[in-house]
Structure 1
Amino acid sequence: MPSISSSKKDSPIETLQNRELLAQFLKKEIQDHEQTKEKLSILAQFPEENPTPILRVTPQGQILYANPAAIPLLTAWDCHESSFLPPLWLETLQTCLEESECQYLEVQAGQRLYSFLISPFGNTQTLYLNGQDITERKKYEDQLLLLASVFEHSGEGIIIANHKMIVQRVNPGYEEITGYLEEEVTGKPPRLFEMGKKDTPLVLELRQSLSQEGAWQGEVWIQRKNGEAFPIRLSIRAIRNSKDVITHYIGSFHDITEIKRTEFKMEYQAYHDALTGLPNRLLFNDRLEKSLQSAQRHQQKLAVLFLDLDNFKDVNDSLGHQVGDLLLKSVSQKLLQCCREEDTVARLGGDEFVIILNKVQDHRDPIKVANRILQSLSQKIRLENHEIYAGVSIGISLFPEDGSDVDTLMRSADAAMYNAKKQGKNNYSLFTQAMGTKALKRLAMEYALHQALEKNEFTLHYQPKIETQTGKIVGTEALLRWNHSEKGLIPPADFIPLAEDTGLIIPIGQWVLRTACEQTKAWLDAGYSNLPVAVNLSAVQFQSENLLQSIQNILQETGLPAHYLNLEITENTVMANVKDSSQVLAKLSEMGVTISLDDFGTGYSSLSYLKKFSIDTLKIDRSFLEDLPDNAEDVAIAKAILSMAGSLKIRVVAEGVEREEQMQFMTDNHCDEVQGFLFSKPLPAEDFISWVQAREG
């Protein structure tokens, strides 16, 4: 403070000036003091109003001060002022004092994470702790680390380019998939996008999609560093900044070579026969459709050849399915050798093949091919020590004469093939309009057969069996009749072969078995214990896999005792596969069902085979009864059958007995049972039981 005293006596004016200077000085001092006081007050309020936690602690961690922002942390740590911080602080506090340097420590407080700056406070042996909530920053950092880890370790290739589509980074996945190192691609346009080729359709589509939608994805083919082309699934996204300006592009991709291989394999399997590798029906129809379109456009002809192997079933039944499969594969190769590369050879299924011959001049071209096929297949084929002759029947249809669409041409070729079979098999036949009429009739009959089951047009008629020695009724045979809604009764000979060809015999046969068992059980419940029923089994039924289970189910569901059911099976059916037939017949016998060998004398008629089968009854075919007792040859055959059956203790039934002399012959030669018009024609169930009642009187 400056001195204002004087050695001389001041004048009044000087005295006044000094007083003014003193007043000004004091005023300034007062103002400076107020400002300092205000600053100190503001400084003192800083910790209290600071939103970040501030603590002053001793080296031992005792809390000397905590601002309001620090209180929630103390609560989370279960602390309060004058108590001690958790032990995890002590090591860092000591380090800070010993080294006289600030330290950092990250600590958890509840669900939040804090980073504290620990500072020594002069020589006071106290420390200030200034905290910062880093929870969100830490999450962001963790996310960045995770993304960096994904980038480095992803199995997908990842590429980052700037807004000019210049590569800035690629990940190890990119290097592994493409063979290119990061330094070989950075600073250049991406090889994936071919951005240097501005006029490629892919690039134009990609640019437009990125510009309009900000993203693009699709399948493209690229090359590895070694030149190998391979497919990838590529996804690209544009990255925009806060001003909605594109700054980067990120692309990711993965190698889909194996996926494409699997897709190709699945597609191949969908359009090709698994056994032979030939086109299947689906692919054949597609190719025929395309061939027809081409032929129409260029006014050309084409031919369809429908092939069916002769006696293939015999090969399967006698030598087994494995040899049958080998035969089909061998035939496939021979057919391919007989045709041109531009032609199509397909397998429709089973033993049916079909061929498209494009650009033929007239019917002579397919005939030449048919003859080549017949010649090729007429040569013996050696398969697993077996020599096989694979005959084939071939039907030929021509476009446009025999049809202008796939279905019509196929129907025409199919009809011609059936005609070739009728001509003696191992032959070919050209389609004619007469065949078309027959094919249409056959198709209409097949449709009507489908409808017959649904409309309940089938019915059973019953013909009695008579014991020769007593004249008593000892059973009945159930015979199928079709009462067509428009055509009336249709004989079995007119529809059973078609039912067998189409497989409809299975559901029809099921219906016959069930209906016959239900009716016989009803008669049994009514007191007619002498009416066991015989039901004919077709070859298709006998060879079906679920025959035994089906019969067992029907017997259980109808309640008919098994010995009241007799199954009639033809010689040819059981002889088609002796081993399998023997097993099936034995199991049927175990169930209690009786077996009759139908049409005996028309097939093998071998005593040695009869001994292998579980046969209860032989039925002499009606053809041997027609001229009895006048025809010496028929007499000799009938007596031989009766004698053979007697020696084996097998009962014999003669069917087709229509005259008294036939009846007398059978009685005299110890035939057990007879049936025929001499006693009754087949009758509906109601009429049959009335006939039984009248006879038994």
Structure 2
Amino acid sequence: MLSLAFIFTVSGASKNQDDAIQVAKNIQSELTHVRLGITQNIHPDSRFQPFPVDEIRHYFQQAEQDLAALNNFAYSYYLFTQQPKLQQDVAWLQEQVLHLRTDIEQDLISSNAASVQTLPIDEVDKTFVEIHHRLTQIENSLVSGLASANQTFIYGLFLLSVLVITLGSIYTVWFIRSRKQQQAYTTLLEDVNQLVRQKNQLLLVANERSQNYLDVAAVIILVLDVDGNINMINHKGCQVLGYDEADLIGKNWFDLCVPNESSGALKELYDGIIYHHQPVLEHLESEVLDRMGSTRMISWKNVLLKDEQGQVTGMISSGEDVTEIKKTEDQLAFLAHHDNLTGLPNRSLLNARLQHALQIAHRQPTLLAVCFFDIDNFKNINDSYGHDVGDELLITVSKRIQEIIRKNDTLARLGGDEFVLVLENLRDKTEVAVIIEKILVSFSQPMTIEDHTLSVTTSIGISLYPQDGLDVNSLIKFADTAMYQAKGDGKNTYAFYAEHMTEELMQRVYIQNDLKEALAENQFEVFYQPQVDLVTNKPIGLEALVRWNHPEKGLVMPSEFIQFAEESNSIQEIGYQVLRQACLDIKELHDEKLFSGYVAVNVSAIQLKDHNFISTLVDLIEETGIQPQWLELELTESVVMNETKEGIAMLSSLSKLGVKIAIDDFGTGYSSLSYLSELPFDKLKIDMSFIRNVLSDEKARTVAEAIIQLSNSMNMTTLAEGIEQKAQKEYLKICKCEQGQGFLFSKPKPLRKLKRWLKKVA
């Protein structure tokens, strides 16, 4: 027989049980904050962002305090039910959280100290998922325990009422048989009626109390009949779904499920459990539509309801709205396979898709192409405009490529400014070239990022299956190799892989490594070639030309290493060293009264795009003590044509500073006359290719004369490069070319030999 003591115990325990459920949810929330605090600070593009260690430590401490409270409840629950599982689960959680906190805090502190992400995120995330599932089990166990206690409470009251009625009936029969007075019989009936009224009152109170317990529960409580119609749903369920209770009672639950294949399977599963005695799924997740049409993900724990004969009458389920948790898990799963910045597949997903594409290409068989993209001079864009502009540029680049490629093609970002495109189901390499050329054309259109208009180019390497490789790693590696060939071919182009490229790439890597050593060991030396007045034959300027004193190869000319310096971004440091040395040397020549002219220094496009270039130049002028007019900066025609608004403004600032500006190799590009008229150029240098044949080639002579006339009409000085014969000099002088440079006057010389030459021609 059910004791009254147990009934009152259940009544008081439910409040503690609700508190325990809330504590479990608090722990879930605190650990979710820890998890997000870690994952939101991890960037696959190699930029490190410090972890919020203090904030993460705070949430760990809160979780440990709540676990201690939950452990106290678990002990009381064990004393009451003699069921140890809840206490064991909580103890496991305490141990896991303690280990997790110790490991994570140490890794986060190490990561912040080294500015490098060292946390084993996959292992940590796996532990978080295990903890989440164990907490969900605990919450469901608590809810189930509460429902069971309420059911037992109501059943106890029912037995008590039956007992009272039975005793009353026995008493009535006995009394009649005793032939007592009618008044006593009437009194007995009144007593029995009073007991029945008391029983009904107790049942009413029990029902109200049970409903109160269900309505204050922190989870959804749902009772379905055998057809799936809703017999009862608590306040939490109505709140989550956005309905009133009256709207839901009698409604078929499966009409609320999201209409898809899984909802149909869910109904079949329910019918199989109810009618065909299939085993009940104690844990189940389903998608449900709320009143606003939004999808909610509910995690259920289910128990069958049976009558006294053991026949199934329905199902009671406790559910938790895990929509936000699922979104977080889906986000984490997405980030595990996608780039956080662009949303493109990352290296992991690329490898999987490429492997699948190779299997298809092998079975059909068809051609497959792997295209490796690298944004030209991207580091300089980051350095000049900042990482925010660089990030937006990468997003814009990814969108432009996606607008051109086919739906079945895969574009992935490996990190930094490197992208890989997989083209499937191709007929021949011509089809690849058509797609790649469309992409290059799209890059020719300037990209506007914030307030900046950027001219961006890309170099692309292509490897083909099965010609170049049969596996993922080989195809990506060879496409990368071909990309470096495209950069070597002048950038803004593409190259198909060929076997000789591997050896050339190794040579390129060796040279780039040697360049780093050369910068560290000051192996670069500045030579000077005089620029003379064609009328007086007197030196008026010096062009600074860099040479590399290689410890093994000897004197290396710029044509053999400048390209590799630009690819490895060493060009800025080399350019700075040459500029500084030229300023020091021209100051020395002036101080020694050997020379009173200027020094001309070549400036690369990368240097000119550096926002700090002017301030660096001003510092050099002040440091070396030279006058700004002693310095002339030479820009190639192609550099001038590719300048942005910021670059043009920089040229104007340099002119106002007093520094002279010359266009080098004029005639080899496609300069616009508007550029020449709007920008502050002081000199045009005719490229030596025209001067070499000026006496024998009518076209070369026509171009040279036109450049001289153009320069004179715009009040600019004209200098002819590559003069090697007196006849060339005399002809140019007749054409009113003011200055010349070439072996006729002097070869490039180191400073010590230049001084001797200057003394000789003085």
Whether TM exceeds 0.5 here: the answer is yes
Corresponding residue number in structure 2 for 1:169 = 16
Is 2:724 the partner of 1:647? no
How far 1:594 moved relative to its partner? Answer: 0.8
The 1-side partners of 2:325 and 2:581 are apart by 54
SS in 2 for 1:474: strand
The 2-side partners of 1:647 and 1:335 are apart by 50
Is 2:330 the partner of 1:330? no
Contact 2:368 2:422 in 1 (8 A): yes
Corresponding residue number in structure 1 for 2:413 = 346
Corresponding residue number in structure 1 for 2:688 = 622
Structure whose residues are more often helix by fraction: 2
Q: Which has the larger displacement, 206-215 or 529-538?
A: 206-215
Is 2:628 the partner of 1:562? yes
Which residues of 2 match residues 190-589 of structure 1 at below 5 A?
206=90, 219-221=131-133, 222=136, 225-226=219-220, 273=339, 275-279=341-345, 283-284=346-347, 288=351, 305-308=370-373, 326-332=396-402, 334-335=404-405, 337-339=407-409, 345-346=412-413, 348-350=415-417, 352-355=418-421, 370=432, 373-374=435-436, 377=439, 393-396=460-463, 410-419=476-485, 430-577=496-643, 579-589=645-655
The 2-side partners of 1:522 and 1:434 are apart by 48
The 1-side partners of 2:568 and 2:623 are apart by 28
Contact 1:370 1:394 in 2 (8 A): no
Contact 2:413 2:420 in 1 (8 A): yes
The AA in structure 1 aligned to 2:132 is V
Give me the TM-score of the superposition, normalised by structure 2.
0.52
Deviations 1:84-121 (A, max 9, x none): xxxxxxxxxxxxxxxxxxxxxxxxxxxxxxxxxxxxxx
The 1-side partners of 2:492 and 2:619 are apart by 42
The 2-side partners of 1:585 and 1:450 are apart by 30
Contact 1:466 1:475 in 2 (8 A): yes
The 2-side partners of 1:419 and 1:211 are apart by 56
How far 1:489 moved relative to its partner? Answer: 1.8
Deviations 1:128-175 (A, max 9, x none): xxxxxxxxxxxxxxxxxxxxxxxxxxxxxxxxxx9xxx8771566955
Change (3 A) 1:327 1:592: same
SS in 1 for 2:16: strand
Corresponding residue number in structure 2 for 1:80 = none
The AA in structure 1 aligned to 2:735 is N
Identify which of structures 1 and 2 has the higher relative contact order when contacts are C-alpha pairs closer than 8 Å and 6+ apart: 2
The 2-side partners of 1:473 and 1:560 are apart by 19
Corresponding residue number in structure 2 for 1:669 = 735
The AA in structure 2 aligned to 1:307 is F
Q: Which has the larger displacement, 259-268 or 471-480?
A: 259-268
The 2-side partners of 1:515 and 1:257 are apart by 65
The 2-side partners of 1:379 and 1:669 are apart by 41
Change (3 A) 1:261 1:594: farther
The 2-side partners of 1:213 and 1:349 are apart by 35
Deviations 1:603-623 (A, max 9, x none): 234433211011111111111
Deviations 1:456-481 (A, max 9, x none): 21111100111111111111010011
Corresponding residue number in structure 2 for 1:135 = none
How far 1:275 moved relative to its partner? Answer: 4.9
SS in 2 for 1:663: helix
Change (3 A) 1:502 1:423: closer
The 1-side partners of 2:467 and 2:82 are apart by 49
Change (3 A) 1:411 1:295: closer
Structure 1 vs Structure 2 CA RMSD = 5.5
Contact 1:417 1:428 in 2 (8 A): yes
The 1-side partners of 2:615 and 2:692 are apart by 39
The 2-side partners of 1:505 and 1:425 are apart by 16
The 1-side partners of 2:81 and 2:606 are apart by 69
Choose which of 584, 589, 597 in structure 1 pairs with 2:663. Answer: 597
How far 1:656 moved relative to its partner? Answer: 0.7
Change (3 A) 1:607 1:307: same
SS in 1 for 2:743: coil
Change (3 A) 1:597 1:389: closer
Contact 2:690 2:704 in 1 (8 A): yes
The AA in structure 1 aligned to 2:542 is T
SS in 1 for 2:601: strand
Contact 1:535 1:568 in 2 (8 A): yes
Change (3 A) 1:258 1:492: farther
How far 1:433 moved relative to its partner? Answer: 2.3
Change (3 A) 1:559 1:410: farther
How far 1:632 moved relative to its partner? Answer: 2.3
SS in 1 for 2:502: helix
The AA in structure 1 aligned to 2:667 is G
The 2-side partners of 1:635 and 1:214 are apart by 84
How far 1:588 moved relative to its partner? Answer: 0.3
Deviations 1:589-636 (A, max 9, x none): 111111011111112344332110111111111111011223222222
The 2-side partners of 1:429 and 1:196 are apart by 75
Contact 2:629 2:660 in 1 (8 A): yes
Structure whose residues are more often strand by fraction: 1
Corresponding residue number in structure 2 for 1:635 = 701
Change (3 A) 1:461 1:198: farther
Structure 1, unaligned runs of 5 or more: 1-161, 180-184, 232-254
Q: Which has the larger radius of gyration?
A: 1
Is 2:761 the partner of 1:695? yes
The 2-side partners of 1:448 and 1:563 are apart by 35
Quote the sequence identity (%): 30
Change (3 A) 1:404 1:528: farther
Contact 1:209 1:215 in 2 (8 A): no
The 1-side partners of 2:96 and 2:605 are apart by 69
Contact 1:396 1:431 in 2 (8 A): yes
SS in 2 for 1:169: helix
Contact 1:377 1:391 in 2 (8 A): no
How far 1:270 moved relative to its partner? Answer: 9.3
Change (3 A) 1:449 1:648: same
The AA in structure 2 aligned to 1:694 is K
The AA in structure 1 aligned to 2:642 is A
SS in 1 for 2:696: coil
The AA in structure 2 aligned to 1:220 is H
Deviations 1:278-305 (A, max 9, x none): 24xxx41686499889999xx9999872
How far 1:418 moved relative to its partner? Answer: 4.6
How far 1:509 moved relative to its partner? Answer: 0.8
